[in-house]
Chains A and B, each alone.
Chain A
Amino acid sequence: MIVKLHSIRTKVTFLTSAAILLSVALVGSIAIAIARHEADNRSAELMTLTCSSKCDEINRYLSYAEEGLRTVSRFAYDSLDSEVLLHSGVIGVNGSGRSLWGHEPTDAQQTALDSYFEDYLSQMQVMFNTVAESNPNVLTYYARINPELSRTSSGFWYSRQMRTGFESQPLTDLDGYAPDDMSHVGWYYLPLDRGMPSWLGPYYNINMDKTILSYVIPLYRFGTFIGIIGVDLDFEELTERIGAIKILESGYAFLTDSKGKIVYHPQLASGLFLAEVNSELEAAEFNKQSTGPIRYRYGGVAKKAVWGTLVNGLMLVVAAPVREINAGWNLMTLYIAVAAALILTLFTLLAASLMRRITGPLEQLAEASKQLAAGDYDLELAYGGNDEVGTLTQSFLQMSRELRTFISDLNSKAYRDDLTGVKNKAALTVFTRKLDDSIASSEETTEFAMVVFDCNSLKAINDNYGHERGDQYLQTACKFICKVYAHSPVFRTGGDEFAVILTGNDLINAAQLEAHFDARASQRNAVATHPWETVDVARGRANYDASIDANVASVMRRADMAMYADKRMKKRQSQTR
């Protein structure tokens, strides 16, 4: 039973712990997954937001220059005199600007055109200067007339000076360089080839000894290429803005051109291609459907990047190590793990305590039932809880008390003689069984004697004076035996027979006791007035002798024989008298 109770406790504890563990694991995993998802989203949002706000900021910087130049271009376009162009044969002279088809002006026409463009340029320059002055980012501004339209008025180039404002610079000789010489004449030929307003660069301009960005608008009127106008911006101004971008602890931003060439990186040299540095990032950046985020590894460090395209076609990439991005998430995971461990411990302890409260009283009950089985009815059960186990404990206690009373009653009825109050024959049987066990056991030596008594004349008293006097006679004889053998158990073994088993001092003093018995019996009988008040018993004793007695029955037989001998002797004495 105890084993089974342990099993209940083990099972329930195991089941409960498993349930707690499973729940904590499940809920913890979900919480971590949600936390991770959230953290991922937020980090992506943060990076995207940073990237797009920086793109916006840089775009504003670039757009400001665009708008200024567009204002100039509108003026340049509207103020072209169609009549002059018509008379000079310029309308409809289609061509790229390097060779105007069908443009063969007369000298007069060419002179008129040259003189017109001179005025036109000087008006435009005034307008241009006003616009450029209002934008501190403009380094230089310029206009170039298609060299095939005018021989003398080729354009202007103004450069910002520290103190004096914009000052005229000598024009680059277009004929002096090949059209594909980007660093010298790219500003003229690239927009011309594209046929539309264009951002150029960043590129190193030898004339200015600076890395610059250019915005150039080609001008067309009546289908004819008139020339270009443009502004240059200092690229350093842009890189300073990008260099200042910090994401988390060590995140940064860099710029690539539309072909993936790095044009500014706080750590890498410009001119490298993204494909050489990191092909994952390069592939993702040129997937036009997306602006990130993408995960990639660089220099053994896992990173995330987002990107955006600027109005000039450059791409701003913002990157940060995943470790830093995930810092928040890691902390959250730690919190969740700690919370889960705390909950797990708390609830396991709680479950164990509950188990103890339930199985503790059960164990006591099990112990008590074992005690009860052994015939020990003095149980001590302390549990008094107001639950099923409490009720069970109280019922068990009640039951054991009642059992004790019942057994006690049963004992007194089974082993006591009603008439005399001494032990009956059944008690003798139990007693002799114990003695027999003792005899059988070779370990100890058993010493005892058995004295048997038989009341004489009981039948005569019953017949002459009634059964009540006969009972009185037996009681008197029994009391007398008990008084003499006060230290030895007395048994009524038959209607008029008694037996006493002597051990200890009574065995040693057996002879004296017998003498005392006879003397006292004589004294009593001398003063007795009725026959039923006398003590008239035959007596026989046999001491246990290991050499002849195999058991108590053997001793008893010899005592009986002695008693009958005594009886015959006393009968002869009375007849002789």
Chain B
Amino acid sequence: MEVPLRARIKEPSISKVLVCVLCALFAGLTPLLSACGTSIDHGASDAEDENRYLSIVDAEPESVDPQCILENYTAPLNIFDRLVEVEQREGGSELTPSLAESWECSGDGCVYTFTLKNGVTFSNGAALTASDVKFSFERLLTNPLSCHADLMEDVLGADNLLNGDAAELEGFRIVDDNHFTIELSRPSAAFIWKLTTPAASILDEETTLHAGESFGHEVFETVGTGPFVLSKWSKGKSIVMRANSNYWAGLPACSGIKMLFHAETSSLRDLYTAGSIDILDLGLLDMDSEYFLRGDSYFGNLVRGKDVGITFVALNNSLAPLNDVRVRHALALGLDRSTLLTAAASGRGMIENGIFPYGLSGHNDELPQIPYDPAQAKNLLAEAGFAGGFDLVITCPTTTSQSVRDLVTLIAALWSNIGVRTHVENVNAATFNARREAGELACYVSTFTADYNDPQCFIEAFFEGPEVTDGCSICYQDTATMRDALNARTILDDKERIRTYQEIEQKIVQEDYAWIPLYSKARIFVVGSRVDGFEVRWNGWPSNRYDKVRILEAKA
């Protein structure tokens, strides 16, 4: 009797008591606990992600369609790839494979055979095929907004497609998805170099056709194979590009790029020192650039490159009195180009004496210096019958930067020393362009930077024939030299071709004084300490490619 009695009482009762007590206990303490509860902040927001993005500054492009813009190439350079790219090497730059794994040129220099890299996809997942390349190159000729039809001008049938006489580019033949050939109507050594320019970017045929005019404007319609994907475009403020996680060459070194548009009122120096900008082109600063270049504070943060571009004074060779070579020569001798370089770039650059600037394939170091010799200049003017000087108008578009205005002022001041009464005329940009194309401007100051690394780039822009030279108001008169210049592009032997171009350069500049070369500048960027791996593009554009740039730590 005793054992069952204990058993019956003990077991249920103890467990009941415990359960009862513990329940009550926890019920009592729960409110206390919850009163001390912590709040958890969920949210790795977009803004936080963007802290890990590389922050840069560039002007807002009209579009990111690489075929339809002439400047502000940052977005196209990073969103799209080309068949081939240029890489800076010791003593020059060279072509490297990109979307094209390999290419060959036929012995006559007229047929290029390309093999595309396998497994490349656009950021929307579509595979890259030879058809996309054909579409991209034909669009250069057929899209009315395209401003780079000249890239294809040497391709067989380009004229017919441009004029609407053909539906396809005759010289472009697709072998299979990965192979195609391009036949040129005449040999062109520069053709392959032209394919490194942003305008030669390869577009996705399907999305680009579907997007129509939205291409290059709408984020989701703008698709490329590049290391970054356009993810946000806040008009007037910024473009954000995130890393293309499926990039065929491996994930880019930074997770994205935030490209702020340069507003004139904002102090870029302050934004940089506050850490809001990682990479800043000192060319965008005027007074403030001095503060980065002087002293030791930023010495370790400066990354220097060479602007493969020439600043020159264009003289209209067809207008009196500039149609007299002695006058043009006098004007060249009347400029203290060293002082001009100091004024414009605190001396950071090179005095140029020809057409092809320092850093360009074909640059001639041995061209004689054009001296600063105001006395000789006066003599020449007197010889030409302008002992009392003459009036000259320098035309500036109203968009001219302060530094170029300063330069023009100084040029005018220097010329006044030799008796040339210079007047600076300001016109709006459209008028300037129209008058320049009509060959009406007497004199202007400009800078031309290489798009691709070949002398042809400069010659074809200014001196390849009456149409070209009149279209830039230089109106060079020596048709024989211009014919030689046009023919030079077909010379198959590279050395001979370069030598020919150099002879033409010397003739135009140092005999005919068709333009006055001034200088080429260094391109200097100040780069934040958290950034690693930044290099200036071979031609010193303010626009760069950033797939190899690494962010060492997120911004606090």
Contact = CB atoms under 8 A, between A and B. Distances in A.
A92 B339 contact: yes
B38 A37 contact: yes
Contacts of B290: 195, 220
A223 B346 contact: yes
B2 interface: yes
B36 interface: yes
Contacts of B413: 82-83, 86-87
Interface string B9-44: 110111001101110111011001100111000000
A30 B10 CA distance: 33
12 contacts: A15-B18, A27-B32, A37-B38, A38-B36, A86-B339, A94-B342, A220-B294, A289-B556, A347-B21, A354-B17, A358-B9, A392-B5
A185 interface: no
A355 B16 CA distance: 11
The CB with the most chain A CB atoms within 10 A, among B29, B267, B295, B339, is that of: B29
Contacts of B294: 195-196, 220
Nearest to A361: B9
Interface string A350-365: 1100110010001001
Contacts of A339: 28-29, 32
A37 B36 CA distance: 10
A16 B21 contact: yes
Given A12-B14, A31-B32, A332-B36, A23 B26 contact: yes
A386 to B, nearest CB: 14
A91 B339 contact: yes
Given A34-B33, A74-B287, A195-B291, A23 B38 contact: no
Nearest to A339: B32
Contact of B33 (A12, A27, A358): A27
B8 A82 contact: no
Top 6 nearest A-B pairs by Cβ distance? Answer: A195-B294, A92-B342, A195-B295, A196-B291, A223-B346, A222-B343
A4 B28 contact: no
Contact of A388 (B8, B24, B402, B410): B8
Given A23-B22, A195-B291, A83 B409 contact: yes
B377 interface: no
B6 interface: yes
Given A20-B21, A92-B339, A222-B343, 17 more contacts: A8-B10, A16-B18, A20-B25, A23-B26, A23-B29, A27-B25, A34-B36, A34-B37, A35-B36, A73-B287, A82-B409, A83-B410, A86-B413, A222-B346, A346-B28, A347-B28, A365-B5
A34 B37 CA distance: 7
Contacts of A197: 291
Contact of A23 (B25, B37, B286): B25
The CB with the most chain B CB atoms within 10 A, among A82, A87, A289, is that of: A82
Contacts of A276: none
A96 to B, nearest CB: 9
B3 to A, nearest CB: 10
Contacts of A365: 5
B394 to A, nearest CB: 14
Contacts of A358: 9, 13, 17
A343 B28 contact: yes
Given A8-B6, A34-B36, A35-B36, A91 B25 contact: no
A27 B29 contact: yes
Given A16-B17, A197-B291, A343 B9 contact: no
B9 A31 contact: no
Contacts of B25: 20, 23-24, 27, 343, 347
Interface string B319-348: 000000000000000000011001100110
Interface in A1-53: 1, 4, 8, 12, 15-16, 19-20, 23-24, 27-28, 30-31, 34-35, 37-38
Given A38-B38, A92-B343, A350-B24, A362 B9 contact: yes
A12 B267 contact: no
Secondary structure at chain B's binding surface: helix, strand, loop or mixed?
helix
Nearest to A36: B36
A77 interface: yes
B414 interface: yes
Contacts of B28: 339, 343, 346-347
Nearest to A84: B413
A223 B33 contact: no
The CB with the most chain A CB atoms within 10 A, among B286, B293, B347, B413, is that of: B413
Contacts of A336: 32
A4 B291 contact: no
Given A34-B36, A220-B294, A15 B14 contact: yes
Nearest to B1: A369
Contacts of A78: 402
Contacts of B12: 388
Contacts of B150: none
B342 A223 contact: yes
Contacts of B2: 1
A19 B38 CA distance: 27
Interface string B356-384: 00000000000000000000000000000
B406 interface: yes
Nearest to A12: B14
Nearest to A290: B556
Contact of A24 (B9, B29, B342, B410): B29
Contacts of B234: none
A392 B295 contact: no
A343 B22 contact: no
A59 B338 CA distance: 43
A95 to B, nearest CB: 11
B106 interface: no
Contact of A222 (B24, B342, B412, B556): B342
Nearest to A224: B342
A541 to B, nearest CB: 50
A389 interface: yes
The CB with the most chain B CB atoms within 10 A, among A8, A24, A196, A221, is that of: A196
B163 interface: no
A222 B10 CA distance: 101
A389 B414 contact: no
Given A92-B342, A388-B13, A350 B33 contact: no
Contacts of A355: 17
Contact of B295 (A20, A73, A196): A196
Nearest to B338: A92
Interface string B225-250: 00000000000000000000000000
B14 A92 contact: no
A83 B14 CA distance: 104
B131 to A, nearest CB: 53
Contacts of B287: 73-74, 77, 219-221
Interface in B503-545: none
Given A12-B14, A194-B297, A223 B37 contact: no
B38 A30 contact: no
A196 B295 CA distance: 8
Contacts of A350: 21, 24
A443 to B, nearest CB: 38
A432 to B, nearest CB: 35
Given A195-B297, A355-B17, A4 B343 contact: no
A180 interface: no
Contacts of B409: 82-83
Contacts of B406: 82, 222
B124 to A, nearest CB: 41
Given A83-B409, A92-B347, A350-B24, A30 B291 contact: no
A193 interface: yes
Given A82-B413, A223-B342, A350-B24, A343 B29 contact: yes
A327 B79 CA distance: 57
Nearest to B408: A82
Given A195-B291, A388-B12, A389-B9, A351 B21 contact: yes
Nearest to B274: A311
Interface in A157-203: 193-197
